[in-house]
Amino acid sequence: MIRSVLLVDDDAAVREALAQTLELAELTVIPAGSFVAAKDHIQAGFPGVILSDIRMPGRDGFHLLAHARSVDPDLPVILLTGEGDIPMAVQAMGQGAFDFLEKPCAAADLLAVLDRAFAKRAEVLAERRAKRELEKGDPAARLLFGHSPQAEDLRARVRSVAPTQAEVLVTGPPGSGISKVAEVVHLMSPRAQGPFVKRPAAGLTAQDLRQVAGDAAGGSLFLDEVSAMPEATQYATLDLIEAGAGVRIIAGTTADLAALVAEGQFNADLFYRLDVMRVRVPSLAERPEDIPVIFRHYVAQAAEQAGIAAPDVTPEHLASLMARDWPGNARSLMSAAMRFVLGMPEEVAAAADLGLAEQMARVERSLLIAALGRHNGKASEAARSLKLPRKTFYDKLARYGIRPEDYRR
């Protein structure tokens, strides 16, 4: 529970008032009146943030800070100070406290500090999860789904690019998973034990760039939608690369950077430095045979997030998904999976502006998939149900890139 607060204050009235403020902000609050009452709630990964008074009878905020850091060194601890306690709070910052606030503090100020702490906590926990996944095996195989030739090519490209020290340019249509591919490149690189920092390039100033590059030192900095980066920051990025600042730049874009360079809208030198290693993410339209496995993954993920059992996905439903256009790519497929899990009706767009041959091909592909699903991926039985010779059936499977084993339960 990232947005949970362990609230520690020996003054019951103050504790109750603070708890009410936090609960109104839809935060989960665990109240405690002392170090002894609070310490048993602290464990690796929980709570999200500790908010504690610095002066308490017996063991005070310093003891709580030391205990929290011994359990989880990255757990944000925010200390509340009374009048005249500022020197103590500064001392606590030197010992690893995230921040301090002087009592009484305005609710807006308190929530602003908590938001920063939650954001930092989310980054830390996400990085821990990524490192655990890395220890389990090949991140490309586990995180980049699909059995199509395009998916295999993508994984192969990531595996070849990741071990190098060169900058990487990840391209693809909107919603195709550019950010995920960038993260896998990081996880498979020699910098995997370092941080993976993601920042949108739009509006990023040169000063912001230098700061986030420092945060990503020893790891990778992913600049999302680099085509929108301000001109001054483009020069600063080029300087950063040429200086060898101890961070690997991975840039992502849905735009045609070469065309922008030709039009004078993007720095040519920066483009050539970023384009040393390029990874292109295919759209779902290029690999519709991957839709079933990706959709099932998103359904399982959405069900886990919602805390409910994953519903069955029928062959007919998979066939309808494969027959659809997905201009939003993986992002829109993920949204469809969430709606499916929550039982929300799905609006299926008509296959407008398609020629007869393409419409017929989509229908044929859907019928093949539905037959395989009904017969648990047994090709011979599916062929028999469609009254097709086995050779003709297999020829059609090959044409559409359909694998019978994907439909075995």
Examine the domain organization and report whether 109 and 19 are in the same domain.
yes
- Which pLDDT score, from 0 to 100, does residue 167 have? 95
Last residue of a domain, one of 250, 282, 314: 282
- Which pLDDT score, from 0 to 100, does residue 134 have? 53
Asked if residue 135 belongs to a domain, the reply is no
Prediction pTM value:
0.57
Smallest CA-to-CA distance from 360 within 323, 326, 398, 325 is with 323
Please name the helix (run of DSSP H) or strand (run of DSSP E) that holds residue 260, with its range, or none: helix 257-262
Smallest CA-to-CA distance from 67 within 99, 28, 45, 38 is with 38
Task: Look up residue 290 and give its DSSP letter.
Answer: G
142 φψ region: left (φ > 0), alpha (ψ -120 to 50), beta (else)? alpha
Examine the domain organization and report whether 250 and 305 are in the same domain.
no
Q: Which residues of the chain have pLDDT under 50?
A: 348-352
Whether 218 contacts 246, CB under 8 Å: yes
Task: Look up residue 289 and give its DSSP letter.
Answer: G
Q: Which two tokens stand for residue 317?
A: 């439903």
- Which pLDDT score, from 0 to 100, does residue 136 have? 60
Please name the helix (run of DSSP H) or strand (run of DSSP E) that holds residue 197, with its range, or none: strand 196-200
**Segment 59-106, tens digit of pLDDT:** 888 999 999 999 998 899 999 987 667 788 788 888 888 988 888 889
The CB density around residue 323, as the number of other CB atoms within 10 Å, is 20
- Order of strands across the sheet with 49-53? 28-32, 4-8, 49-53, 77-81, 99-102
Residues 216 and 356: their CA atoms lie apart, in Å, by 52
Asked if residue 307 belongs to a domain, the reply is yes
Residue type, 27: L
Examine the domain organization and report whether 106 and 172 are in the same domain.
no
Smallest CA-to-CA distance from 371 within 387, 361, 390, 386 is with 386
> Which residues have CB under 8 Å from 307's CB, separation 6+?
none
Burial class (CB in 10 A: 0-12, 13-18, 19+), 244: exposed
Examine the domain organization and report whether 292 and 271 are in the same domain.
no
Examine the domain organization and report whether 152 and 228 are in the same domain.
yes
Examine the domain organization and report whether 163 and 260 are in the same domain.
yes
- Which pLDDT score, from 0 to 100, does residue 2 have? 64
| Sign of the four-CA dihedral 78, 80, 86, 91 | negative
Output the domain CATH number for residue 351.
1.10.8.60
- DSSP per-residue string spanning 129-147: HHHHHHHHS-HHHHHS---
Examine the domain organization and report whether 161 and 274 are in the same domain.
yes
Asked if residue 138 belongs to a domain, the reply is no
Last residue of a domain, one of 282, 300, 324: 282
Asked if residue 183 belongs to a domain, the reply is yes
- Which pLDDT score, from 0 to 100, does residue 350 have? 44
Residues 76 and 69: their CA atoms lie apart, in Å, by 9
Whether 161 contacts 277, CB under 8 Å: yes
Asked if residue 134 belongs to a domain, the reply is no
Q: Which two tokens stand for residue 41?
A: 């709630």
Name the phi and psi angles at 79, rounded to 5: -105, 140
- Which pLDDT score, from 0 to 100, does residue 75 have? 92
What is the domain extent for residue 269? 143-282
Which residue is it, tokens 């990778």?
220
- Which pLDDT score, from 0 to 100, does residue 391 have? 86
The CB density around residue 203, as the number of other CB atoms within 10 Å, is 11
Measured in whole angstroms, the distance separating CA 175 from the mean position of its chain's CA atoms is 12
- Which pLDDT score, from 0 to 100, does residue 351 have? 44
Asked if residue 232 belongs to a domain, the reply is yes
Output the domain CATH number for residue 237.
3.40.50.300
Last residue of a domain, one of 128, 156, 178: 128
- Total domain count for the chain? 3
Smallest CA-to-CA distance from 127 within 49, 183, 208 is with 183
Asked if residue 137 belongs to a domain, the reply is no
CA angle (47 as vertex; 46, 48 as ends), nearest 5? 110
**Segment 335-378, tens digit of pLDDT:** 999 888 888 766 544 444 556 576 667 767 777 877 787 787 88
For the chain, the straight-line distance linking the first and the last C-alpha, in angstroms and rounded, comes to 33
> Which residues have CB under 8 Å from 131's CB, separation 6+?
192, 193
Examine the domain organization and report whether 340 and 220 are in the same domain.
no
Examine the domain organization and report whether 274 and 332 are in the same domain.
no
Residues 53 and 12: their CA atoms lie apart, in Å, by 12
